[in-house]
């Protein structure tokens, strides 16, 4: 795991600004590498590897080999799968152990073709994290640091133990 990286503040309704230690959450991955590398998963078939588990900056890579389209470029669906994987995992970290994440929207803009050998890298950062919804941006770059694609994913968060106030009981 890499050292924490400074990033822009995330908008959180009703929360104090970053830098207030009493308000900062401690994140714990509710899964392990064995879970993420099961042979029946799309991420395993595509060769996606998560390299940095910082919940404010998730990083993963996708090999170009086995993920090309007819003309030899990186397949757009593979880029979208990388975006979805990183954004969903970031949301899972946010929802916490026992929580659940449901994908709501995914969009990917493809800027240029990725060619050659090696892999592309996706960097996922939160745009908005609320009580029940989170939106992430994933920038996909090639080995020369050129932007290949930009993705945005929104997920519903179902946090364990987070409920509204109980209605008053009438006696």
Nearest to 49 by CA among 39, 32, 35, 36: 36
Q: Is 84 a catalytic residue?
A: yes
Q: In this structure, are strands 133-141 and 57-63 parallel, antiparallel, or unpaired? A: unpaired
Name the percent of the chain in helix, strand, coil, to the closest 5.
20, 35, 45
DSSP characters over 64-88: STT-B-TTSSBPHHHHHHHHHHHHH
Residue 126's contacts (CB-CB under 8 Å, 6 or more residues apart) are 10, 56, 90, 94, 134, 135, 136
| Residues paired with residue 133 on neighbouring β-strands, in sequence order | 156
Given the residues 22, 28, 34, 84, the one annotated as active site: 84
Virtual torsion, Cα 92, 93, 99, 103, nearest 10 deg:
-20
Catalytic residues: 84
């Amino acid at each position: 795991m890499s050292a924490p990286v400074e990033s822009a503040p995330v908008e959180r309704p009703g929360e104090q600004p970053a830098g207030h230690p009493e308000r900062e959450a401690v994140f714990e991955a509710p899964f392990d590498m064995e879970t993420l590398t099961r042979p029946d998963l799309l991420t395993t078939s595509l060769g996606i590897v998560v390299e940095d588990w910082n919940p404010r900056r998730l990083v993963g890579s996708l090999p170009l080999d086995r993920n090309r389209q007819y003309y030899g470029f990186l397949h757009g669906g593979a880029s979208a799968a990388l975006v979805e994987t990183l954004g969903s995992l970031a949301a899972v970290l946010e929802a916490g152990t026992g929580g659940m994440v449901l994908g709501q929207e995914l969009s990917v803009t493809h800027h240029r073709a990725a060619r050659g050998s090696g892999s592309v890298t996706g960097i996922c950062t939160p745009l908005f994290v609320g009580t029940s919804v989170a939106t992430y941006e994933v920038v996909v770059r090639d080995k020369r640091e050129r932007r290949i694609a930009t993705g945005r994913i929104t997920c519903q968060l179902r946090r364990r133990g987070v409920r509204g106030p109980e209605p008053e009981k009438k006696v």
